[in-house]
Structure 1
Amino acid sequence: MAEIAVVAISVAKPGHEELLREALEGIVGPTRKEAGVLQYDLHRDVQEPRRFVFVERWESQDALAAHAKSAHIQAYKKAAADWIEHAEIRVVSKIA
């Protein structure tokens, strides 16, 4: 099966940046232990510090789907829902 690459962006509501950062940092460790994860790195936009960006690589679509259903991701979504102004998940393909 083909490797899956994902860019996931979350923009914090003004005043909620640190709450969101802490919540996002909290899912990194458990996610990196999941079956099928190849890369799961959290970044913060230098020019727009309310914007957080995950760069992810997964062995398969099934691994990504299992991640989305995992207990820690579901708990994060519930906890962080009021702190997020905008969220976007993009599946991308490597060109070069």
Structure 2
Amino acid sequence: MSEIAVVAISVAKPGYEEPLREALEGLVGPTRKEQGALQYDLHRDVEEPRRFVFVERWESQQALAAHARSAHIAAYREAVADWVEHAEIRVVSKIA
């Protein structure tokens, strides 16, 4: 197994900043309890408060895949479908 990291960015549609923030915060507790979750931290962009950024570390690609299939992620996606203007997920591996 090799550790991987994820940077996940979600940009709220205007007027949906706080509902999206609350929904994202709701992912933190359940995700931190998942097998293979090493780090799952939510941040808010200082200059663009509609932009939220998760910085994540996972034990393996398999752990991340299980997270993507989890019930709380599925419920989140359904709940916020109309609140998100843009979402981007980057999976990276540490090189130095």
User: Shorter-chain TM-score category?
Assistant: over 0.9
What residue is the counterpart of 2:50 in the other structure? 50
User: Which structure shows the higher helix fraction?
Assistant: 1
Report SS of the residue matched to 2:63.
Answer: helix
What residue is the counterpart of 1:72 in the other structure? 72
What residue is the counterpart of 1:38 in the other structure? 38
Report SS of the residue matched to 1:82.
Answer: coil
Report SS of the residue matched to 1:73.
Answer: helix
Q: Conserved in 1, the CA contact under 8 Å of 2:4 and 2:94? A: no
Report SS of the residue matched to 2:5.
Answer: strand
Residue segments in structure 1 that go unaligned for 5+ positions in a row:
none
Superposition RMSD on alpha carbons, in Å?
A: 0.6
Cα separation, 2, equivalents of 1:85 and 1:26: 19
Q: How many percent identity over aligned positions?
A: 85
The AA in structure 1 aligned to 2:7 is: V
The AA in structure 2 aligned to 1:39 is: Q
Shift in Å at residue 5 of structure 1?
A: 0.4
Shift in Å at residue 94 of structure 1?
A: 1.8
TM-score (norm 2): 0.98
Shift in Å at residue 92 of structure 1?
A: 1.5
The AA in structure 2 aligned to 1:13 is: K
- Detail structure 1 runs of 4+ shifted over 2 Å in the superposition: none
Shift in Å at residue 95 of structure 1?
A: 3.0
Number of residue pairs the alignment of both structures matches:
96
Report SS of the residue matched to 2:47.
Answer: coil
